[in-house]
Amino acid sequence: AGGDTWNAIVVEDDDANVTPQDRAIANLSRAVRNYQPRRRTARESRRDETQSLDEVQHEEDILGELGEVIDLTADDDPIVYRAQPRQHFPAPIPIPLERSLRELVLSGGRTIKVNFCYQVCSPQNRYFKVEFLRVTEIIQRGFAGHEFVRGIPYARNKSLGGRLPRKRNEVFAIYEVQYDDLRPVEQQGLVEIPALELGVPRRLHITNAPFPAHRYDPNMSPDEQTAEQEGPLVCRWKVFAYFHDARTHAALKACEWAIARIASGEVPEAEFRVNEETLSQNWRGSTIRGGAHNPPRLVPSHRRMPVRGEGQQYEMFDAFCGAGGASRGAERAGFKIKGGIDMARHACESYRLNFPRAKLFPMTVHEFLFTTRHQELRADVLHLSPPCQVWSPAHTVDGVNDDANVAALFSCRQLIEKFRPRIFTLEQTFGILQKKFELFFNGLVAGFTDSGYSVAWKVISMANYGLPQRRKRLIMLGAGPGEKLPDWPPHTHSETGRDGLRKYTSIRQALRKINNHIERTDPHHRPVITAGAADAIVSDPDGILRRCMTTSGGQNRHYSGTRNYTNREFACLQGFPVWHRFSEYSVRKQIGNAFPPCVVQVFYEHIQKHLHRADGFVGSSRPRPVIGERSMVLTVD
C-alpha cells in the first residue's frame, strides 16, 4: 500500500521568497502541510456547530464583484457545441509569401529550431508570466527579417500563486481554450511571437514522474542563481484556462480551470516516462478495477473480465456528510456508500436513518483524523463539502494564522492523504473565489496538487442539472496519481429545453412526488395556512424558484400564496427523493446545507462511467444486481 507521506515532494528546493506575497504563500503552504490533527475542545466544537450564515444571501452580494474577473454566465445555458464531436480541419492552405522553416539562423549566428525550448526575452504576462516557449513551427512572412515562431508557452510553478509546488526550475505548460473554438486544445494553446523575442535555448524535460525525479543536479551549478538561469527545466503539469468566447477571452474572464498532470502518453522520451499503474500503486496501493465493494474472485490478468462482477460497486465516502445529500445522490447513481463524517448531531441522526449500513463518524474531521490516525482507509471516490462560513463576506480574515482558515485547508488535504481516492469531488460556496481569499483558495488547490492530484474547478448553475433553483456553487473534480481527470458532465436541462435537453425542472414537477399517502403519514409535511412576511417571495409553479433556498428557507413562500412551504416540500425543491428521512429537529437547516442529491446523481453517474471506462469494462456502467437478491440501488421516486 502507499506510504504515510509522499516523500518525493518534501525535498527542500523551493524557489526563493522574494516578495511579501511569496512569503505569505510559503508560510500558508507550510502551515497547511505541517498541521497536525488534534482533539477539539468542547468549546471549539460548540462554537463551530453554532456558526450559521446565510450563504446564498452573501453569494448574491458578491456576484457583481466576481463577475468582474470570472465569467459566471458560461454555465447558465448549455454550450451545445461542446457536446459535438471535435471538428477535423483540413490542412491549411499556405498564404502567399508565407512558408514554414525547420530552423532559422538569426543575426549574430543564433539558431532557432523546431521542438526546442527557448527563454522569452520579454516575458509575456497575462494570467501567467510566460518565460519559455517550446517551438512547434517557424514561419517566414514575406522577406527575410519577418520571421515568427509558434509554440507552447511555459511558466514557472512559482508564478501560479502557490497552486503548484514552488520548486526551482519546475514549470507548467499553458493552454488558453475557448468553448466556441472547435480546434483541438493543443492547437488553441499555441502562441505566436516574433522570432527575435526568443533568447537562449533551455533544456526541457517533460515527464510524468513525481518530483524530484529528473530535476536539475544541484552539484552541477555553483549557486542557485546559475541553476535557475542555466539548469534544465522540468514540466510535470499542464494548466488550462477556459473561456466562453473571444470576448471573455480578451477580458481574461475565465469560466473554468484545470491543473492536470502530464500523462505517460504525453511524455516524448521513454527515460522520462512512468507507467500510470505504477504511479497509482505507489500512491494508494492496489486498486480493485470495477470498485472495491464486493469484488469478484481474482482471475489471471490475461483473463480480465469484460464486465464487473455481480454486486460489485465503486465505494464513496462522504466527508462533512450532513443529512446525506451527497450520499443519497451517489447511491442513486450506483455507488456503495462506505461512510460519512459530520459533527452536527441532528444531521447525524438523519444520516443514520437513511444509511444504517454505512460507517458514520459523528465527530469533527479533526477528531476523525486523530482517532483513525493508525488505520489505513481507502475509498474509490471521496466527496468533500467543507464548512463555508470562513469564506463568507461576513467573516473577518485575520491572516495565515487564522485557525479556522488553516483548519479548513488542512482537513481537505489530510482527508485526501487518509483515503487516497481515485477521484474526489468538492462542493463549496463560490465566495472563496473572492480576491481577498485568493491566498486560501490557492492553498486549498495546493493541498491536492502537492499529493499529485489533477484538479478542475468551475462555478455551475444547478438548474442545468435538474434542480428547480438558480443555485450557483463552486465544484471541483480531482484525479489521483495514475488516474485521468474526468470531463464535466453535460447539462441535462436548459431554460428552453432545446437540443435534446429537458426544460428546467419546475416547482410543480418537483412537488408532484408528494402524494396523498405522504400527506397523511409524513411528520415533515403539515401544510398550515399562514400570513406571509413582508419580504416573502412567491414563484410561478411552472418555473423555478425566484430565490435560492437557504437554511432558513430563503423567504420562499408556497406558490398558492396562502402558506409557507413545508419541510418535505423544501426537501423536494432541494433535490431529495420524497422518501428521504429526516430527524425531528433542525430539518430546514439540514436541507439548506445539503448538496442537492439530484445534481449529485448526475455527477456521480458521469464519474461512474468514467471509472468504468478507465477500468477497461464494456457495456452499462450500472452495477450488476446479485442474482436472486433485491437491488438496493434506488433510481426512481
Catalytically active residues, by annotation = 388
Spatial distance between the Cα atoms of 461 and 619, rounded to a whole number of angstroms: 31
CA 509 to chain centre: 30
Spatial distance between the Cα atoms of 137 and 28, rounded to a whole number of angstroms: 41
Spatial distance between the Cα atoms of 10 and 500, rounded to a whole number of angstroms: 50
Single out the residue of 193, 185, 191 nearest to residue 243, CA to CA. Answer: 185
Residue 400, number of CB atoms within 10 A of its CB: 20
DSSP SS3 for 599? helix
Spatial distance between the Cα atoms of 231 and 160, rounded to a whole number of angstroms: 21
DSSP SS3 for 401? coil
The residues, ordered by sequence, that sit 6+ positions from 583 with a Cβ below 8 Å of its Cβ are 323, 346, 347, 349, 350, 353, 590
C-alpha distances in Å from residue 470, one per residue of 73, 489, 546: 11, 18, 8
Do residues 306 and 618 touch, judged by C-beta distance below 8 A?
yes
b/e per residue 450-461 (b: at least 16 CB within 10 A): bbbbbbbbbbbb
CA 261 to chain centre: 14
DSSP SS3 for 407? helix
- Is 614 exposed, middle or buried, given 0-12, 13-18 or 19+ CB atoms closer than 10 A? middle
Q: 147-156 and 191-194: which strand pairing?
A: antiparallel
DSSP SS3 for 521? helix
The 3-state secondary structure of 148-188, one letter per residue: EEEEEEEEEHHHHCCCCCCECCEEEEEEEEECCCCCCHHHH
DSSP summary character for residue 50: H
CA-based Rg of the chain, rounded to a whole angstrom? 26
C-alpha distances in Å from residue 15, one per residue of 136, 164, 169, 225: 29, 12, 8, 10
User: Whose grid coordinates read 408528494?
Assistant: 514
C-alpha distances in Å from residue 529, one per residue of 113, 515, 540, 573: 79, 19, 19, 20
Do residues 321 and 341 touch, judged by C-beta distance below 8 A?
yes
Spatial distance between the Cα atoms of 227 and 219, rounded to a whole number of angstroms: 10
Do residues 202 and 138 touch, judged by C-beta distance below 8 A?
no
Single out the residue of 166, 249, 246, 184 nearest to residue 446, CA to CA. Answer: 166
User: Whose grid coordinates read 396562502?
Assistant: 562
C-alpha distances in Å from residue 607, one per residue of 4, 55, 486, 589: 27, 28, 7, 28
403-419 and 20-34 helices cross at what angle (nearest 10)?
50
